[in-house]
Each structure stands twice: as C-alpha cells, then as structure tokens.
A and B are shown apart, each in its own frame.
Chain A
C-alpha cells in the first residue's frame, strides 16, 4: 500500500469535477452547503468580501472551527493557508483537511516563494492567472489549479479573463514545433517538462477549476463553458439574500450548464445576488489576483 501518491491526490480533484466547492464560515453554513449538494466546503473565518471590508492581515482559520466543520459534514473539507506559509500548511495537514488552498485571498506570508507542496500528504490547490503561473504551481506539487478571478467582488470578469488566457495559451502551445518549446518555457517561466506535456495533450496535467467572482448560476455555467471543470464559490453564496436557494442553483447549473432551458428554471426567483464591485473602482493594492509569484 502506498499512501498519498501524487496520482491519489489528483484522484480527489478528479472526483470534485462538476461539483461546487463552497466557502463556509461556520457549521450552520457547512450544513446548508452539504444539503444543497456541494461536493466540498472551504472552511474559513471570513469570506473574501468580508476580508476586503475589514482589512488587516488575513490568516489561516482557527483549528477549532475547522474541526467543528469536519465533524458536521461528510463531504471533503478544505482550508486556506497564506502563500508560502508552510507551517500553517503543516497544521492543516495535522488536522487532516482534505485539500489545502495556498490562497491569494489570505495575506501572503512569503513575497517571493510558494510552499514546496510535494512532501505533504494532503493535496494542494493553487490559484493561477495564466499558463506560466499554473505550471509553476504544478511544478511545486499542486494537484489542482483554479483560475483566480478576483475574489470577494461578485464580479466574474476577472475569472473570465483568466480562463480565456489559460485556454488561449494552451491552444498556442499545441501548435508549436518541438524546437520552440524550450524558449516558450523560458518565456512562460514554466518547467520544460510540463510545457511539453501541455503541448502534447492540449490540457494541464491536473484538473482546473474556476474561482473568484462567481455570483449567479449563469456565472458558474459561463466558467464551465470556458473550460473550467467546476467552480469554487466564495462570497457569492453566503453574502446573497437566500444562500440555501442560491447554493442549490449553482450546484444545478454546473451540471446542466449546456442546457439553457434548465438554466432558466434554475436561475428563477433566487432573491438578490451579492451586490458586487466594479473592477475600475479597485485600486491595484486591492487586487488579490496579483499575489502569487
């Protein structure tokens, strides 16, 4: 028996495809998420919209709230650590969370380096805004990627930008001659062997989900149509008027994203979505997606 192999880590990511991973801040929300059909929950003390509102340093959650959520639901429980904070990651590993998100939503602990994720028995998910960043994270041991979008804004425009960028860059690689790949790896700042993998297969070697700004079932379906294999929803559910209804609707939308008639039913009478932020009103310092190296 060989535990926690890289293939077993990717295996869990495979099983999350087409399901919704929801940010939850307490046991009650975790139960609402599970009841709605979430395939996993992300336990954190403040959803991104609240982190934006409150300011200050955002850190990994108190183990007590993570344990309480693990005890309350049977679906996988994920939690976030600050970029580069491998001690927070070891703490989450000791708690046996099912996935660690090395996340730009929390305040980075290291402004140059990410965690070496290979030695951990827990799989990691990391954010990316483009192909080079995605392949660097996979090189460090991430078993799952998510495009970053702009968390806590309720505005899907950045998620769309990152998904499209990734798609275009992957497509481009598949058209290059073998001789061009090393220079392309240099330009992307990405490991050569992973560049070759993408050129040959036309996809990343691990699943890719979307995150950051998903507020409606239609937003989730749009991400699926742009190649995301499922979505993380942060503030979009529990900052909305009727979280239980909206949570179900987003779950239904990632399954039936290709069926506009079903999407019309799914999108009906959900109450108001979170209000959202227009990108031009965000200063560069408030943009979380630029965190990550």
Chain B
C-alpha cells in the first residue's frame, strides 16, 4: 500500500520508517494531490495548534474530509488524535470530528510528566509525550488498549486513534493492524 503521513510538522518521519519496514511505500503528504494518491494516511504527533494553522493556511481541510469519506485506513497519534476528535478540551480548540471521542490535551501534565509504560494485559510499550487523554468514547468506537484502566487506543472501523507514540518504540503491531500487508 501507499501510505502517506501528513508532513506539515512533527513526528511524521518515524511513522514512515515504520510502514516502510512493514513493506509499504511511505510518502510525506503536504498537498491535496499528494493526499489523494494515498491508500492510507497517518496523522502524526507534533503540535496540534501548528497542524491546525497549516491545514487552514494551505486549504487542506477539504482534501482531508474527502479522504476520510472514502473509508481508507487512518492511524492518528497524539496531535493527530486531537485533530481527529469530535471534541477537544483543555483548552477547547477546533477539530475535525472524524473520530467520535472527546480528547483532553496535555492531560498528563507538562513534559516532566512524560512517561513510558506498558498497556494493560499486553506487552505493548507505550510512550506518552505531553499526551492527551481520551475522556469520552462514542458508541461506535471500540477501545483496543487501556492503561491503568483508561482508554489509550481506540478504533472506529478503519480509523485507529492513540494517545501515545508507537512510532517511537519500534513496535510495529499497531501500524500493521491499521495497514495490513
């Protein structure tokens, strides 16, 4: 598959390395044409406010909405999860509502509180960087991983959202789940 990573800012390169290691073609995406050519999309971590400003200034909203409407697979981490949420709190900011969850930004605290852990009942390594919390999950959304009982990864059809950074731990199971080889 040809997997694009939205490359406006943030941790997109490590995601592309992960999907390439799985045998996919990984390409950075900065324009509507580049997006339309992809079979799957990664919305990476970074600063969600920065991503929002660039999506607006370079008029990518429509192309992203059109992509989501085609039911191609999407993997959204951290800032990408924030952009995708139905509702964003702490502080409240606009988002695109592709995934029916409520997300609270920086809810684990500032960088000194960033941490590594393991998901409940699995050996999946979790890396949280100034991470958001998933504070509401809609009825059509399945919780796939929890940490200390709260949801940290969810799935709505072919849309995978997670509050942590699988691209930074070398574990490619979530990329493989989102983008089957």
Whether, in the assembled complex, A248 has its beta carbon less than 8 Å from a beta carbon of chain B, the answer is yes
- A-B contacts counted at CB < 8 A amount to 129
Residues of B within 8 A of A11 (CB): 114, 127, 129, 165, 168
Cβ-defined contact, B112 with A4, below 8 A: yes
Contacts beyond the supplied A15-B79, A255-B54: 14 A-B pairs with Cβ under 8 Å: A2-B115, A4-B115, A15-B78, A16-B47, A18-B46, A19-B47, A74-B49, A93-B112, A96-B112, A98-B111, A122-B111, A248-B53, A252-B58, A255-B7
Q: Which parts of A4-28 form the interface with B (CB within 8 Å)?
A: 4-5, 7-9, 11-12, 14-19
**24 contacting pairs across A/B (C-beta < 8 A):** A7-B116, A7-B168, A11-B165, A14-B10, A14-B45, A15-B46, A15-B47, A16-B46, A17-B10, A17-B46, A18-B10, A19-B9, A19-B10, A34-B49, A37-B54, A74-B93, A75-B49, A76-B47, A96-B110, A97-B110, A122-B111, A254-B9, A256-B58, A259-B30
**Is A251 touching B116 in the complex (CB atoms < 8 A)?**
no
Kindly identify which residue among A12, A17, A36, A122 contacts B130, using a CB–CB cutoff of 8 Å: A12
Decide yes or no: A76 and B111 within 8 Å by CB, A7-B127, A17-B13 being known contacts: yes
Most B Cβ at <10 Å: residue of A14, A93, A97: A14
Decide: B130 and A76 in contact? CB cutoff 8 A: yes
Q: Closest Cβ of chain B: how far from A66's Cβ, in Å?
A: 12
0/1 interface trace, chain B 76-114, chain A, CB 8 Å (1 if under): 001100000000000101000000000001100111111
Interface size on A, residues (CB 8 A): 41
Q: Which of A8, A122, A123, A254 has the most CB of B within 10 A?
A: A8
Interface string of A219-234 (1 = CB under 8 A from B): 0000000000000000
Check if A105 is an interface residue, CB within 8 A of chain B: no
CA–CA, A97 to B106, complex, Å?
13
Q: Is A3 an interface residue (CB 8 A)?
A: yes
Q: Is the CB of B111 within 8 A of A251?
A: no
Are B10 and A74 in contact, CB atoms less than 8 angstroms apart?
Answer: no
Q: What is the CA–CA distance of A74 and B49 in the complex, to the nearest angstrom?
A: 8
Which 4 A-B residue pairs are closest in the complex by CB-CB distance?
A37-B53, A98-B111, A39-B47, A18-B9
Distance from B146 Cβ to chain A, minimum over Cβ atoms (Å): 14
Contact A121 B11 (CB under 8 A): no
Instruction: Out of B57, B110, B117, B127, name the residue touching A248 (CB < 8 Å).
Output: B57
- Residue A1 interfacial (CB < 8 Å): yes
Complex contact A1–B117 (CB within 8 A) = yes
Give the CA-CA distance A37 to B57 in the complex, in Å.
Answer: 10
